[in-house]
Chains A and B, each alone.
Chain A
């Protein structure tokens, strides 16, 4: 008798109807968006506070470069001594005082620039001032030596190396960034999915043990069927939750940005920054166009097929291990000793993905880890956008499927024995013995 659909249905419905599941599904994106909105709002608040800085330029050479902006108000002082200026700034509770002393030549002036303030000034402010002064004094020094700075500026060359593979595929820096985002996103999604829903499977196996229903069920259903039903049912619930999160998150994001006028897209995620830099290097007007072509350049069909294969394979591989752990122990606190060997390869995969795939997607380390089944789903998913030979993909998938079958067999063995064992916390040695029962 095939009870798999029945079990899947029950697992799915109990998960989906569970109150805390519903609350988490709805609340998580709301909390995320609210958090992002608050951070965005606060950082806007912070930067919109105007600072007043007094400038005492005794050399009289650079006064003109300090033009007040929205965020900073420059007050040019003159005809006062430095001591009076300090007092004045302190009384008016201004942010600080920039003092440029007199000097015989520019080099002497450069040594006598000081900033006075009540508290330690912010780093970005100091960097801003330094770069302003540096630029102006460099120009001044160049002029002093008879260089025409206008000519110098106009003769600056902008370079964007066009990359082309031997097969004639054109790529550019922006392509690489887009690939990185795609691969990183896919790998990270899988990682999150495994951790969240793997745990859920484990808990639901433990629940069956602690509620002692397992023997009732197992007298009508094969343990393997129960295990697979659990894994599939929970995964479907997970996919449901994920989809709702993405939709709800997207909608909320639009609503919030419409209401508060905060442009979420400008939130500076590190990748976005990299992308912007890359795009700036290509020249502003081509931005959208090159982004589209970068996405278009991705091996999309290949990516989607492999994403599905590795996602499902990797997820099933890990979740069967989670199910086995759940069957081996009596309560959640006992799971720790078995969790580490599962989490280690997973975390390793993400680190390899982040540190080596970005640097060298086809290097030895990335290639090797994209074959090892426990790390391949994450690492390979990150590599594929950069173009991986088909044979490598096929071999890796086959290895993954083979290992998956082995772990399901292994997990089913542990599961079959473990679900009927109560009371004691098994050691690895005992688990090994169970395999032979």
Chain B
């Protein structure tokens, strides 16, 4: 079995409002799965269904091949977007309480907490109250509580919000390490650069329907337009541009560069390879910059949402 989590045509209605319409996803074991979508698309509802907070009207969810049951709670670690902690409770007590709710014994929870607190260098917060901590500090505690019981499936909803770049990096490394240790991660965010960085699979939900899913790499391949960005050194820009226009589809490009090159976007003709283009260009001018335009997750997101 290669998929840790499978959702089979899950639907959920709230009154007249359809939050999820026949959504199916497959999350491979050991992957980081990006769950994307505009605000209000139904991501949170799907996550809540996986967490058994909301029951689906129809459809089923399988974890490790078994339909979800209440004992699966301890196999899932969930960091919701709307998160917080009891303000007047001490950090240590609170972490112990939440760990015990996940089914850990008190002594086990203590040992694991010590390990994590040392790892993230927050050991001296144990007896502080949450209200004495900054938002970022509280977020760290929350992260620890989410991963403490070593769940098979981790669900992070906007995990980096509230973190400074240093801490965001720290958390990102921890997530990657957890993945390497065998955990599967579902990752929901609006920050496309983190999707780019972390996810190997994505699913895009738009207006309660899944509109796209698969390996990020495959999707990118699907979306690529065979367009190259080139920088050319020339004395006569107009003449060179016209020359290229005779053979290829050309538009202006804009990228950051140290030189005052002629910057163009050139689309390949159907049967051409990149070498054909490069050969053609080198015969006309000095090539300073040559780069295939790979669609970013951001492009894919916007394009898909706009088209559907």
CA distance A10 to B100 in the complex (A): 11
With contacts A212-B84, A216-B85 known, what are 10 further pairs, Cβ within 8 A?
A1-B73, A6-B101, A10-B97, A14-B89, A207-B86, A213-B83, A216-B142, A217-B98, A217-B101, A220-B98
In whole Å, how far is A212's beta carbon from the nearest beta carbon of chain B? 3
In whole Å, how far is B57's beta carbon from the nearest beta carbon of chain A? 10
30 pairs, CB–CB < 8 Å, chain A vs chain B? A1-B70, A1-B71, A1-B74, A1-B103, A3-B101, A6-B100, A6-B101, A14-B89, A208-B86, A211-B85, A212-B82, A212-B83, A212-B84, A213-B86, A216-B78, A216-B80, A216-B83, A216-B85, A216-B142, A216-B145, A219-B76, A219-B80, A220-B74, A220-B101, A220-B102, A220-B103, A221-B101, A420-B48, A420-B53, A422-B82
Q: Which residues of A contact B51 (CB under 8 A)?
A: 219
In whole Å, how far is A119's beta carbon from the nearest beta carbon of chain B? 56
Closest 10 pairs between A and B when the two form their complex, measured CB to CB: A212-B84, A215-B80, A220-B101, A211-B84, A219-B78, A219-B51, A213-B84, A212-B82, A433-B15, A220-B102
Q: Which residues of B contact A207 (CB under 8 A)?
A: 86-87
Question: Is A140 an interface position by the 8 A CB rule?
Answer: no
Within 8 A of B (CB), among A199-250: 207-208, 211-213, 215-222
Within 8 A of B (CB), among A384-437: 420, 422, 433, 436-437
Q: Which residues of B contact A218 (CB under 8 A)?
A: 53
Q: Which residues of A contact B15 (CB under 8 A)?
A: 433, 436-437
> Which residues of B pack against A, CB within 8 Å?
14-15, 48, 51-53, 70-71, 73-74, 76, 78-80, 82-89, 97-98, 100-103, 142, 145
Q: Which residues of A contact B48 (CB under 8 A)?
A: 420
Would B97 and A215 count as touching, CB distance under 8 A? no
Question: Is A289 an interface position by the 8 A CB rule?
Answer: no
Question: Is A46 an interface position by the 8 A CB rule?
Answer: no
Q: Which residues of A contact B83 (CB under 8 A)?
A: 212-213, 215-216
CA distance A220 to B76 in the complex (A): 9
Question: Is A18 an interface position by the 8 A CB rule?
Answer: yes
In whole Å, how far is A44's beta carbon from the nearest beta carbon of chain B? 45
> Which residues of A pack against B, CB within 8 Å?
1, 3, 6-7, 10, 14, 18, 207-208, 211-213, 215-222, 420, 422, 433, 436-437
CA distance A14 to B142 in the complex (A): 20
In whole Å, how far is B77's beta carbon from the nearest beta carbon of chain A? 9
CA distance A123 to B227 in the complex (A): 104
Q: Which residues of A contact B73 (CB under 8 A)?
A: 1, 219-220
Would A213 and B103 count as touching, CB distance under 8 A? no
Would B76 and A211 count as touching, CB distance under 8 A? no
Q: Which residues of A contact B101 (CB under 8 A)?
A: 3, 6-7, 217, 220-221
Would A437 and B14 count as touching, CB distance under 8 A? yes
- Please give me the residue from chain B that is nearest to A19 by CB atom: B88
In whole Å, how far is A227's beta carbon from the nearest beta carbon of chain B? 14
Would B53 and A14 count as touching, CB distance under 8 A? no
CA distance A247 to B53 in the complex (A): 44
Q: Which residues of B contact A420 (CB under 8 A)?
A: 48, 53
In whole Å, how far is A1's beta carbon from the nearest beta carbon of chain B? 6
Q: Which of A6, A211, A422 contacts B86 (CB 8 A)?
A: A211
Q: Which residues of A contact B74 (CB under 8 A)?
A: 1, 220
Q: Which residues of B contact A222 (CB under 8 A)?
A: 70
- Please give me the residue from chain B that is nearest to A13 by CB atom: B93
Would B82 and A14 count as touching, CB distance under 8 A? no
Best-surrounded residue of A213, A222, A420 (most CB of chain B within 10 A): A213
CA distance A18 to B51 in the complex (A): 32
Q: Which residues of B contact A14 (CB under 8 A)?
A: 86, 88-89
CA distance A355 to B31 in the complex (A): 71
- Please give me the residue from chain B that is nearest to A433 by CB atom: B15
- Please give me the residue from chain B that is nearest to A217 by CB atom: B101
Given the contacts A1-B73, A436-B15, A216 and B98 also touching, CB distance less than 8 Å: yes
In whole Å, how far is A9's beta carbon from the nearest beta carbon of chain B? 9
Best-surrounded residue of A3, A211, A422 (most CB of chain B within 10 A): A211
Would A213 and B88 count as touching, CB distance under 8 A? no
CA distance A436 to B80 in the complex (A): 25
In whole Å, how far is B68's beta carbon from the nearest beta carbon of chain A? 12
CA distance A219 to B80 in the complex (A): 9
- Please give me the residue from chain B that is nearest to A18 by CB atom: B88
In whole Å, how far is B118's beta carbon from the nearest beta carbon of chain A? 23
CA distance A433 to B17 in the complex (A): 12
In whole Å, how far is B159's beta carbon from the nearest beta carbon of chain A? 13
In whole Å, how far is B50's beta carbon from the nearest beta carbon of chain A? 10
Best-surrounded residue of A3, A6, A215, A437 (most CB of chain B within 10 A): A215
Given the contacts A216-B145, A219-B73, A6 and B80 also touching, CB distance less than 8 Å: no
- Please give me the residue from chain A that is nearest to B155 by CB atom: A219
Q: Which residues of A contact B142 (CB under 8 A)?
A: 216
Best-surrounded residue of A14, A216, A437 (most CB of chain B within 10 A): A216
- Please give me the residue from chain B that is nearest to A6 by CB atom: B100
Q: Which residues of B contact A3 (CB under 8 A)?
A: 100-101
Q: Which residues of B contact A220 (CB under 8 A)?
A: 73-74, 98, 101-103
In whole Å, how far is B207's beta carbon from the nearest beta carbon of chain A? 20
- Please give me the residue from chain A that is nearest to B106 by CB atom: A6
In whole Å, how far is B158's beta carbon from the nearest beta carbon of chain A? 13
Would A213 and B85 count as touching, CB distance under 8 A? yes
In whole Å, how far is A185's beta carbon from the nearest beta carbon of chain B? 35
Q: Which residues of B contact A221 (CB under 8 A)?
A: 101
In whole Å, how far is A385's beta carbon from the nearest beta carbon of chain B? 43
CA distance A7 to B101 in the complex (A): 9
Q: Which residues of A contact B76 (CB under 8 A)?
A: 219
CA distance A437 to B49 in the complex (A): 13
